[in-house]
Amino acid sequence: MIDHDVIIVGGGLAGSRAALEIVRTDPTLSVAVVAKTHPIRSHSVAAQGGIAAALKNVDPADSWEAHAFDTVKGSDYLADQDAVEILTREAADVVIDLEHMGVLFSRLPDGRIAQRAFGGHAHNRTCYAADKTGHAILHELICNLMRYGVKIYDEWYVMRLILEEGQAKGLVMYHILDGQIQVVRAKAVMFATGGYGRVFNTTSNDYASTGDGLSIAALAGLPLEDMEFVQFHPTGLYPVGVLISEAVRGEGAYLINSAGDRFMATYAPSRMELAPRDITSRAIGRELRAGRGIHSDGTAGGPFVYLDLRHMGREKIMSRIPFCWEEAHRLLGIDAVTQPMPVRPTIHYSMGGIPVNTAGQVRGSSDSLVDGLYAAGETACVSVHGANRLGSNSLLECVVYGRRTGATITQAIPTRKLPNVDESHYITEAQQQLQSLLDQPGHYRINQVRQAFQDAMTEFCGVFRNASLMETGLAQLQGFQAQYSQIYLDDKGKHWNTEIIEALELRSLMIVGQMILESALQRQESRGAHCREDYPQRDDTNFLQHTLAYYSAAGIDISYHPVTITMFEPQERKY
């Protein structure tokens, strides 16, 4: 058995910022980070457009209050306003702290950090490192973890949480290199396992974004909050789905339909291309449905619209958004200086997650906390994004709440003891789970079941939803779950058995998919990213509350949790 004071699952921005907070405050603590990838390959590294903070470097009229208002309005009033206040008040401080660590932000001519426009933000407040912001921040954080001697278990896959009598005691993890299984015991356990974009067939997310932390929490009997709120990013490059950052529109690009019109004038006349993502994604969806999409040969009625940068000029494109130019060039052979890019909405972000309070402590129910368990980042729901996240608020959430959660853990450790854990019980259980996967006499291929599941999720729980679509989705999901017990693994070995990992990930994806569908079916209103054609209005009387979904093999139970409203009364949301 391995012992640490603190074990953190996930080496992205949230996990590494929390680890750094702990060792910076008390270097004597034994802190470890586990990641199924190398931490540098966490999805955070792919973040492009930037991190929001009211620094006022470009726009002196900005303030944390204005940032808070934009965030709450963007969330369609579902965000918890105490959590938003913390996010926006602490933003400037965490960004300056990152700068002091050495993060290479892009600059204004006078040397201060540059800030650009972003969707749903009324002021230019997004700080950036060209369009490689996640790369710049994550590399600096990981360098710091190494400097402080944080133990890193890279390419270990966490299989389960050890939760006994309401107390988190540790983890069971599997070494992808050689098949070794280990139990880790700790005084505090933190989840920072990121999102679940791979539940759907077209996503901007990494292959590793499979929602493992969410399914591990759900299998341990913990609730998941607001899982129906899945963000579609308006500009996924067609057909691959990889992200073309909102920074491209922040720097002035247009969205145009087959008639050559800037169609956002119909949907959000005051914000145009910089409306929030839910509104812009639906606008593209409606243009495509109305036959104003574009085909590859340029004719009308096709599956994408154009993102047009041509008026911006080579110099601006190459200095502000070089990576987006490079992506379109590398993947489609398009030179965005002279040609428009084909785009359509792609699954991008998970607003819901493991419910936590503003100190990062995980909720076991609407009115209880789990002893010793913490979460932050995309896998957590604090909830600062409510029903729709604004771009550049997620990196900020990871850093603000990663830091806060690290601080909470550091304070708690002196009064905690290493728990007693029956190591052999957990090792035997994990061995049996893996062996039964290897021995299964089935005939389905993992890829075949996963693809059919992802296609169904996209078809039955996409940008536009209704009850009969989602009921069909749930019925099909039962079929995929039955097929799961008949998948066949070719590789029976212990070394680099990526099929085992794919099988475990597929289980996570299907649990998360079921939680999304059930939560979405029960929410009979339209709010933020959750757009019900059979309930087109927002319904504050019945649904101004957070969903809590509990998983069990028999089915999913749904209950609700109040929204914290402190500063801004809900209003109709117009842009």
Ligand X SMILES: Cc1cc2nc3c(=O)[nH]c(=O)nc-3n(C[C@H](O)[C@H](O)[C@H](O)COP(=O)(O)OP(=O)(O)OC[C@H]3O[C@@H](n4cnc5c(N)ncnc54)[C@H](O)[C@@H]3O)c2cc1C
Residue nearest to ligand X (CB): 12
Contact between 442 and 488 under an 8 Å Cβ cutoff? The reply is yes
What is the 3-class SS of 316-383, one letter each residue? HHHHHCHHHHHHHHHHHCCCCCCCCEEEEEEEEEECCEEEECCCCEEEEECCEEEEEEEECHHHEECC
DSSP 8-state class, residue 465: B
Binding status of residue 243 toward ligand X by CB under 6 A: yes
| C-alpha dist (Å) from residue 176 to 111, 184, 359, 493, 498 | 45, 16, 33, 11, 7
Q: What residues from 470 to 499 belong to the interface with ligand X (CB under 6 A)?
A: none
Residue count of the chain = 575
Query: Does the bond joining 239 to the residue before it have cis omega, within 30 degrees of 0?
Result: yes
Q: What residues from 111 to 170 belong to the interface with ligand X (CB under 6 A)?
A: 133-134, 157-158
Binding status of residue 202 toward ligand X by CB under 6 A: no
Binding status of residue 62 toward ligand X by CB under 6 A: no
x-or-dash string of contact with ligand X, 337-376, rule CB under 6 A: ------------x---------------------------
Piece of 193-201, 253-261, 359-367, 419-427 that binds ligand X (CB under 6 A)? 193-201
Binding status of residue 47 toward ligand X by CB under 6 A: yes
Binding status of residue 74 toward ligand X by CB under 6 A: no
Binding status of residue 283 toward ligand X by CB under 6 A: no
- Distance, in Å, from the CA atom of 354 to the CA atom of 516, rounded to the nearest integer, reads 13
Q: Which two tokens stand for residue 355?
A: 């419910």
Binding status of residue 519 toward ligand X by CB under 6 A: no
Judged by CB under 6 A, the number of residues near ligand X is: 46
Q: Where are the beta strands (DSSP E) in 108-180?
A: 115-116, 126-127, 151-154, 156-164, 167-175
- The number of beta carbons lying within 10 Å of the beta carbon of residue 264 is 25
| C-alpha dist (Å) from residue 9 to 13, 34, 149, 152 | 12, 5, 17, 10
- Among residues 42, 44, 22, the alpha carbon closest in space to that of 32 is found at 22
- Among residues 191, 227, 194, the alpha carbon closest in space to that of 395 is found at 194
CB of 134 to ligand X, least distance (A): 5
Residue of 5, 10, 29, 32 interacting with ligand X (CB under 6 A): 10
x-or-dash string of contact with ligand X, 375-404, rule CB under 6 A: --xxx-----------xxxxx--x------
Binding status of residue 231 toward ligand X by CB under 6 A: no
Give the CA angle between residues 500, 503, 508 to the nearest 5°. Answer: 130
Which residue in the list 277, 450, 523, 532 is annotated as catalytic?
277
In terms of CB distance, is 47 or 474 closer to ligand X? 47
Is 527 part of the annotated catalytic residue set? no
Binding status of residue 44 toward ligand X by CB under 6 A: yes
CB of 44 to ligand X, least distance (A): 3
Q: What residues from 412 to 431 belong to the interface with ligand X (CB under 6 A)?
A: none
Residue of 43, 121, 169, 292 interacting with ligand X (CB under 6 A): 43
Binding status of residue 186 toward ligand X by CB under 6 A: no
Binding site for ligand X (CB under 6 A): 9-15, 34-37, 39, 42-44, 46-51, 133-134, 157-158, 192-195, 204-205, 208-209, 212-213, 243, 349, 377-379, 391-395, 398
- Which residue numbers are catalytic? 277
